[in-house]
């Protein structure tokens, strides 16, 4: 069966982490009230194995187990991105540039629509009507300041455009509101918010499904800011070279991956809202004054596999990168690279350093090709800023750092060296105050300026000679500062010196 490979089947993915020795089966009872999340958060921070909680306090009839950090960094320090690689059927040695290139690989290929099959593992158990009680499920509380228990942090929200054709898959969090409703963040300019608005104009509630424990490669595509109108299910089909297998929901016409662990389905109200948050977010803060009201998702059916596994992300400081960094940051970088290359700019790589909480993106340019453009910092940086900051894929980025090809954008020490030494405060900074902001960045939501626009900057980390294709210096490190024969000699004598 095609769709049982680990990147296409969450249960197989969990098994693969186990055989990688990158998963810990925890059979002792653990409390979903903060304890589960504290373990997950620490697992990110100390880079331990992914915890699989097989005995969650309050679980009934197997509903449910919890896995934390499925997309965090691997406990195998040789291959830190192994879990992301496993999402995409890449070799464990894959770097973040391989992850980015894999996710961009279907850009030029025709979409492959999913196939609809009659049933699948997600239909093993079905719960309807009065038997649904979300408040009785062991839904975790993720941070002591959170305003509720979050069931949806790593599942796929599936919503159709009312005009048909386009079905958007994305990740947007949701917390338990009452027995059969959740409140979920629906925030512009995300596609889910654009589609929601269309239904609101029609005055009809939005049919939805949330697939929890969905095919890992589909979770990656859902986290990626693919262009409007691109159905992620079709993009994933194209990435895999074969169609995804979907089954129809019980109470609406949505289709979900047949092997999902848990499926929630129903309608999102275009009128009723409920309190949502505070929530510990991707920048490492849970603001105590957060008091937002968000649309309510009515749950009309829950279907699930036997002994299902709920995937959970506990966002926080990127000293322990979690999926809001490894996925949101990396996949925004992929789309920004595509945007800049499509615009004919000599961009080699783009990356959002975890150390910047993925608020910064480093853009690496080919110095010799740059020289052919016969441009300068002012013109080039404004061009890049206008492209990225006015496009949805640049929403989360507030600082772009333009670096030359001697800088590896995936190495934070390279990026900070260039930023610190080549980007002169003020004259090398190009500010954008009229572009959409990312309102969740703390200096936007809780800072002194406008909240919804501006606060963005392009930092030029190239010296004027670099725009002419010249690198007028020798870098003073072991690698670059010495002739090859001296380096060889030093390395061969090194241990003999007792060093």
Positions that interact with ligand FMN (CB under 6 A): 153-154, 168, 170-173, 185, 187, 190-191, 222-226, 313, 323-324, 327-328
In the complex with ligand FMN, the residue whose CB is nearer, 153 or 404, is 153
Q: How far is the CB of 391 from ligand FMN (least distance, A)?
A: 11
In the complex with ligand FMN, the residue whose CB is nearer, 127 or 193, is 193
In the complex with ligand FMN, the residue whose CB is nearer, 238 or 324, is 324
Q: What is the 3-state secondary structure (H, E, C) of 324-371?
A: HHHCHHHHHHHHHHHHHHHCCCCEEEEECCHHHCCCEEEEEECHHHHH
Q: How far is the CB of 154 from ligand FMN (least distance, A)?
A: 5
| Cβ-based neighbour number of residue 491 at 10 Å | 10
- Indicate the SS3 state at residue 209: strand
In the complex with ligand FMN, the residue whose CB is nearer, 180 or 183, is 183
Q: How far is the CB of 313 from ligand FMN (least distance, A)?
A: 4
CA distance 456 to 454: 5
CB 471 within 8 A of CB 491: no
The closest of 75, 83, 59 to 309, measured between CA atoms, is 59
In the complex with ligand FMN, the residue whose CB is nearer, 167 or 364, is 167
Q: How far is the CB of 416 from ligand FMN (least distance, A)?
A: 25
In the complex with ligand FMN, the residue whose CB is nearer, 74 or 404, is 74
Q: How far is the CB of 278 from ligand FMN (least distance, A)?
A: 13
Catalytic residue among 232, 250, 281, 323: 281
CA distance 215 to 165: 22
For residue 485, indicate whether it is catalytic: no
CB 82 within 8 A of CB 96: no
Q: How far is the CB of 471 from ligand FMN (least distance, A)?
A: 36
CA distance 340 to 342: 5
CA distance 233 to 67: 24
In the complex with ligand FMN, the residue whose CB is nearer, 167 or 460, is 167
| Cβ-based neighbour number of residue 464 at 10 Å | 11
CA distance 302 to 107: 34
DSSP string, 123-191: GSEEEEGGG--GGGS-PPB-STT-SS-EEESSSEEEEE-TTSS-EEEE---EEEEETTEEEE---TTSH
CA distance 386 to 397: 13
The closest of 365, 360, 423, 414 to 389, measured between CA atoms, is 360
| Cβ-based neighbour number of residue 227 at 10 Å | 14
Give residue number: closest CB to ligand FMN: 170
Q: How far is the CB of 318 from ligand FMN (least distance, A)?
A: 13
CA distance 309 to 319: 26
In the complex with ligand FMN, the residue whose CB is nearer, 153 or 238, is 153
Rounded to 5 degrees, φ, ψ at 435 are -110, 160
Q: How far is the CB of 288 from ligand FMN (least distance, A)?
A: 19
Alpha-helix runs per DSSP H in 151-190: none
How does strand 245-248 pair with strand 255-257?
Answer: antiparallel
Report, as residue numbers or ranges, the catalytic residues: 281
């Amino acid at each position: 069966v095609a769709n049982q490979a680990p990147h296409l089947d969450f249960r197989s993915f969990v098994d693969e982490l186990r055989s990688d020795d990158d998963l810990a089966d925890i059979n002792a009872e653990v409390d979903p009230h903060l304890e589960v999340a504290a373990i997950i958060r620490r697992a990110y921070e100390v880079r331990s194995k992914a915890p699989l909680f097989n005995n969650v306090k309050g679980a009934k009839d197997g509903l449910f187990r919890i896995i934390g950090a499925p997309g965090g960094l691997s406990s195998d320090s040789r291959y830190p991105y192994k879990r992301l690689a496993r999402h995409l059927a890449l070799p464990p040695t894959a770097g973040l540039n391989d992850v980015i290139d894999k996710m961009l690989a279907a850009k030029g290929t025709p979409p492959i629509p999913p196939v609809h099959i009659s049933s699948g593992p997600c239909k093993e158990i079905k719960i309807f009507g009065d038997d649904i009680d979300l408040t009785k499920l062991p839904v975790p509380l993720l941070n002591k300041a959170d305003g509720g228990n979050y069931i949806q942090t790593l599942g796929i929200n599936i919503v159709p455009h009312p005009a048909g054709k386009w079905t958007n898959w994305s990740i947007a969090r949701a917390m338990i509101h009452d027995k059969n409703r959740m409140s979920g963040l629906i925030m512009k300019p995300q596609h889910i918010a654009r589609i929601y608005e269309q239904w609101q104009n029609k005055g009809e509630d939005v049919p939805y499904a949330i697939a929890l424990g969905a095919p890992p490669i589909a979770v990656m595509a859902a986290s990626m800011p693919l262009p409007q109108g691109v159905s992620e299910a079709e993009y994933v089909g194209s990435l895999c070279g074969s169609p995804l297998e979907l089954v129809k929901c019980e109470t609406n016409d949505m289709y979900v991956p047949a092997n999902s662990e848990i499926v929630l389905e129903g309608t999102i109200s275009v009128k009723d809202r409920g309190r949502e948050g505070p929530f510990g977010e991707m920048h490492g803060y849970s603001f105590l004054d957060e008091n937002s009201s968000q649309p309510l998702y009515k749950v009309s059916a829950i279907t699930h596999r036997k002994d299902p596994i709920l995937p959970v992300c506990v966002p926080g400081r990127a000293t322990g990168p979690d999926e809001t960094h490894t996925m949101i940051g990396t996949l925004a970088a992929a789309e920004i690279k595509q945007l800049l290359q499509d615009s004919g700019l000599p961009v080699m790589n783009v990356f959002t350093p975890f150390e910047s909480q993925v608020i910064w993106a480093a853009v690496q340019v080919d110095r010799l090709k740059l020289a052919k453009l016969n441009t300068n910092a002012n013109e080039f940086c404004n061009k890049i800023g206008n492209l990225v900051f006015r496009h949805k894929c640049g929403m989360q980025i507030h600082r772009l750092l333009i670096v030359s090809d001697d800088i590896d954008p995936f190495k934070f020490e390279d990026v900070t060296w260039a930023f610190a030494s080549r980007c002169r405060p003020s004259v090398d900074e190009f500010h954008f105050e009229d572009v959409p902001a990312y309102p969740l960045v703390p200096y936007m939501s809780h800072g002194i300026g406008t909240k919804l626009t501006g606060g963005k900057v392009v930092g030029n980390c190239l010296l004027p000679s670099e725009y002419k294709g010249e690198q007028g210096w020798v870098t003073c490190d072991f690698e670059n500062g010495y002739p090859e024969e001296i380096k060889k000699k030093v390395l061969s004598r090194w241990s003999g010196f007792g060093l």
